[in-house]
Structure 1
């Protein structure tokens, strides 16, 4: 168990990644907390893990997501501080959208900056995630009223690299930041035009579910094929394989596992021309306004053969575990530092 994996938010893509690593890499051990109330995980999980991860001389590498306050953990557990510490960013709190500004929000981004300073390697799941984080550090730290730290971006950047989220594609995920209001507004417009379509709304819910979900489910009525979380991955992929189009209306996205899984299952993607999407998808699959999205969907409803005959023009291979496993193995099986 030379590789110690700690995941403070064990759900969604966080769970998918560490489960994959544990299955594919030898000699590793995983410690987790359930994916509930991420604010509290970010605040307090370091103390929990400091008391619940056994002391062992076998550990050589520590891999954790950026939900964990790595600085607190290595201060509480100096033995873990001696390991090669790898921090993985699924998302970053410097540019993550919040419903309303609250003064305590500063702490989440600040904790991630501190974690980067004590980490040996900082890994991001996309160039968009990395650059949005690094280039926001200076502005973010100006929120401190005086005696501000300096040059943090130049200290952290040399540690950083991009390793796309590795997806194990089959043989054949929160709420307000995904902007469900825009999604359902477009669907209700299509229904109002009398266009024929069916919709499946898939995904895991963690705590608060916006009212628009229940209201829209009722309004869409017989157009709904499936609604809600599918615990079986096989069932999930089966629903994707039945679909023709997959839509994102996200206000924020740092990678987009679900969109790529849907494309692999044959769906035509429609994504905002923003965020990480231009990094992942060719231009023809991007839209700039809700009106553009609605117009394209109206066309697809009238001519479903357009998408059913379409062959995806982007690349899928760079995001597969088959393509990325060598880089992850290299990162997570490096020889220990000489001072251990």
Structure 2
């Protein structure tokens, strides 16, 4: 059985669920080296030498792997340079890089040091043997960002071929999700007014301010609804969440993070409509989880969302509130079969063969999936 070394400097949330699902659904002998999900900037700068130091603590006979899989929080260029000095390391080991996100496309709230982390992502992509992105949108913004980054260099530094090199070794692989067995989704919550679900991170890039403005306008129009606000919060919580709790207290069925995944899914099953107003989204696991639980999606017609759901579930910006109101009036909840049909392709059973090919069968790397072929054509 092939040996795969997993390196994750930010082992939490979707990154952790991804690796847990991979190990369950793609048979191999895995070794995981990980750090807790905090201080991402220091993780990007120092995790590569830390991982190498951990590897040196193992007997030389156990330092040989067929492949390494790391997330984009690892500086692959530094990792590769240090690994060649490790006794027992197999120089033929393939290094595979998975982009859950990329630093060339994040909103520049930390513009002073953003180029440093963009450079780490760029150098990692150059040094990796093979790359996978969680969406074509992620890949497109990364490659576009690389072109812009290279154009910012002095005129003496011309590197026109590098983006093409990165593109040719890239593919699109959705991160698999372990969906639970079908549950009875029709509870007492569905007997009254429709339930709106917000289950995203409580951060500004998810644009919760616009969500609050839309809810306020719906209330002014007399559109009835109840509300579930979940999702993880961090140190700097946007002020609009306090307004939600104050303005819509009588409508709230739940407010706050749900640490138990089982309880979180049960909460989603009370919803009718899951809404996103995000300004930034590389994939959309939270939305997919809610749709699987029976919530009809209402999503902006941009970012990664057009890859995930058909146009009937997408809204144009100027008509958002009207579309929101109409969805609530139409009693939007999905049936079990429709919810499963919309989400089945995002589950591990459907995606595992593509991951087996990528990680375990490098000789088949040119036989890419249709999604990857579409990606290659779209960014040429």
Partner of 1:18: 19
Partner of 1:153: 163
Q: How large is the Cα RMSD of the aligned pairs? A: 2.3
Tell me if the contact between 1:12 and 1:204 (Cα under 8 Å) persists in the aligned partners.
no
Partner of 2:83: 77
Structure 1 gap ranges (5+)? none
Q: 1:212 aligns with which of 235, 240, 250?
A: 240
Q: Deviations over 1:63-113 (max 9, x none)?
A: 0011111111222222468321000011111122122532x2111111111
Structure 2 gap ranges (5+)? 183-199, 364-380
Measure how far apart 1:162 and its partner are.
0.9
* TM-score (structure 2 length as normaliser): 0.81
Partner of 2:178: 168
- Structure 1 residues 293, 312: CA separation in 2 closer, same or farther (over 3 Å shift)? farther
Measure how far apart 1:302 and its partner are.
3.5
- Structure 1 residues 110, 7: CA separation in 2 closer, same or farther (over 3 Å shift)? same
Aligned pair 1:142/2:142, yes or no?
no
Aligned pair 1:228/2:256, yes or no?
yes
Matched ranges for 1:181-220 at <5 A:
181-220=209-248
Matched ranges for 1:32-181 at <5 A:
32-53=34-55, 54-55=57-58, 56-78=62-84, 79=86, 82=91, 83-99=93-109, 101-102=111-112, 104-150=113-159, 151-172=161-182, 173-174=200-201, 175-181=203-209
Deviates more, 1:79-88 or 1:324-333: 79-88
Measure how far apart 1:232 and its partner are.
1.5
* TM-score (structure 1 length as normaliser): 0.90
How many Å separate the matches in 1 of 2:152 and 2:245? 42
Q: 2:302 aligns with which of 255, 267, 274?
A: 274
- Structure 1 residues 335, 96: CA separation in 2 closer, same or farther (over 3 Å shift)? closer
Partner of 2:9: 8
Measure how far apart 1:196 and its partner are.
2.2
Tell me if the contact between 2:103 and 2:117 (Cα under 8 Å) persists in the aligned partners.
yes
SS at 1:199 equivalent: strand
Measure how far apart 1:293 and its partner are.
2.4
Measure how far apart 1:142 and its partner are.
2.1
